[in-house]
Amino acid sequence: MVQEAFFDDRGRRTHIDSVDLATGDHVMINQPSRNWPDGKECTLDTAALADAGAPLRRALVEQPDLVIAEKFGEQEEIGAGLAYDILAVIAAGLPTLVLVPEPALPRWREVTGGEIAEIPCEAGALRRWWGDMP
């Protein structure tokens, strides 16, 4: 699952969807707040974010070759959002690629015990990581 931002004809962000890469299904998780309709401030729909975790929960059953989770962000840092689903997939031993913004790295390292491989956001590094998978 990844996030996709949508913009109006003036270039203002209208909303962000979580996209299930396996099915193409979209769940709108974020939209501009009523106080800032120009997109400067957004409102996260935490209930929709929980629904957006369905692909991760499905991965536990279907056991795909690779699970992608975008991202371990502010909600996940506090144990909310997709934190439980992401950690469940990792605990199940599935190859999992999680995008972690640099400000969230300390908390990521804390919740994973520092035992998770970290790779830079570069194509070559990703290929090497994948090539090392059993």
Q: Above 70 in pLDDT, residue 96?
A: yes
Residue 98, pLDDT score: 94
Residue 31, pLDDT score: 75
Give the bridge partners for 98, in sequence order: 69
- Structural domain span for residue 55: 2-131
Average pLDDT, the chain: 87
What is the b/e burial string over 29-51, where b = at least 16 CB atoms within 10 angstroms of the residue's CB?
bbbbeeeeeebeeeebbeeebbe
Q: Above 90 in pLDDT, residue 13?
A: no
Q: Which residues contact 125 (CB under 8 A, 6 or more apart)?
A: 119
Total domain count for the chain? 1
> Looking at residue 29, what DSSP letter applies?
E
Residue 94, pLDDT score: 95
Residue 32, pLDDT score: 66
Which of 10-19, 52-61, 116-125 shows the lowest mean pLDDT across its residues? 10-19
3-state helix, strand, coil in the chain (%, to 5): 35, 25, 40
Q: Read off the pLDDT of each residue in 21-38 and give the average, rounded to a whole number.
A: 76
Q: Which residues contact 128 (CB under 8 A, 6 or more apart)?
A: 119
Q: Above 80 in pLDDT, residue 102?
A: yes
What does pTM read for this prediction? 0.80
Q: Above 90 in pLDDT, residue 34?
A: no
Report the alpha-carbon distance of residue 33 to residue 43 in Å, rounded: 5
